[in-house]
Amino acid sequence: MRYLLLAFLLISESIYAQTPVSKYLFRPDSTRLPDIRERLVQLALQNPAYEMVDHASKAASYQVQVAKSAYLGLASAQGNINEFTINPHAFSTSTGGYVPTIYPRYNFSLVIPFDIFTRTKNNVKSAKENYYITVAAKNQKFREIKADILTRYENYLLQKQLVEFQGKLTQGEYSSLKRAESDFAENLIKLDDVEKAQKSYINEQVRSLTLQRDLNLSKIEIEKIIGVKIEDVERSMK
C-alpha cells in the first residue's frame, strides 16, 4: 500500500511539472487589447525623465533603511589584554620561572552616546520625509508625462484630420483649375478667371504643406517621448 501511494504521488508530480503555468492564467482581462492611449502612457513612462525620479525614490527608500540601522555605528566597543596573560610560559622561561602578575589582565569598554536613540529616531524621520518628497515628485512627474503625451496625441489626431480635409479642398481647387483652363481654351471664360482659379489652387497647396508640416512636427514630439514610431504603435493596436 505504501509503494502504491508513493507511485501515485510521483505520477501526479510528473503531470503537474509538465503542465505549463502562466502568471497571467487567471487574469480575466488578459485578452483585452489596451487602448492606444494607455500604450502611449506606458511607453512615455520609459522616458529617462521619469526613470530619474523613479531611481531617486528608490535611493531614498534605501536611505531610510540605512538610517534605521545607524545606531549600530554610533556605539563602539574596545578591549585589550596584557602580554603576560597571553603567553605566560614565554616569560617563565626568560625570567627563570618567575611570571609577573599585572592587573587588570584584560579590560573591555563599551561607549554608547547618550543621544543614540534620539539621534537615530530623528535621522529615520528625516530619511522618511526625504523619501516622501521623492515619492511625491515621482507621482507629479507621472501626471505631467501622462497629460503631456495625451495632449500631444490629441493634437496629432487633429492635425491628421486637418491634413485629410485640406487634401480634399486642394483636390477640389485643382479640379476647378483644370475646368477653368478647359473653358478658357474654348473661349468660355477670360484669362483673369483662369488666373484666379490658379491662385486659389496655390493657396490651398500652401495650406496643405503647412498642415502636413504641423502633422510631422506633432509626430516628432510624440516619438521623442515614447521612443518609437507612432505608426508602429497604431499598427500594434489593430
Does 104 map to a domain? Answer: no
The C-alpha atoms of residue 186 and residue 180 are separated, in whole angstroms, by 10
The C-alpha atoms of residue 195 and residue 202 are separated, in whole angstroms, by 10
* Count of domains forming the chain: 1
Does 137 map to a domain? Answer: yes
Residue 25, pLDDT score? 33
Does 39 map to a domain? Answer: yes
Does 194 map to a domain? Answer: yes
Question: With the C-alpha atoms ordered 33, 36, 41, 46, is the resulting torsion angle positive or negative?
Answer: positive
The C-alpha atoms of residue 141 and residue 50 are separated, in whole angstroms, by 7
Structural domain span for residue 173: 34-75+112-236
Dig out the grid coordinates for 126 from the structure.
528625516
Does 15 map to a domain? Answer: no
Dig out the grid coordinates for 142 from the structure.
507621472
The C-alpha atoms of residue 210 and residue 159 are separated, in whole angstroms, by 10
Of 101, 109, 96, the closest CA to residue 83 belongs to 101
One-letter amino acid of 24: Y
Residue 24, pLDDT score? 33
Does 175 map to a domain? Answer: yes
Does 88 map to a domain? Answer: no
CATH number at residue 178: 1.20.1600.10
Q: What is the pTM of this model?
A: 0.61
Does 160 map to a domain? Answer: yes
One digit per residue, the tens of pLDDT, for the chain of length 238 reads 444 433 433 444 443 344 333 333 333 333 334 589 999 999 998 888 778 888 888 888 887 777 776 655 555 555 555 555 555 555 555 555 555 555 555 555 555 565 556 666 777 788 888 888 888 888 888 899 899 999 999 999 999 999 999 999 999 999 999 999 999 999 998 999 999 999 999 999 999 999 999 999 999 999 999 999 999 999 888 7
Dig out the grid coordinates for 13 from the structure.
508530480
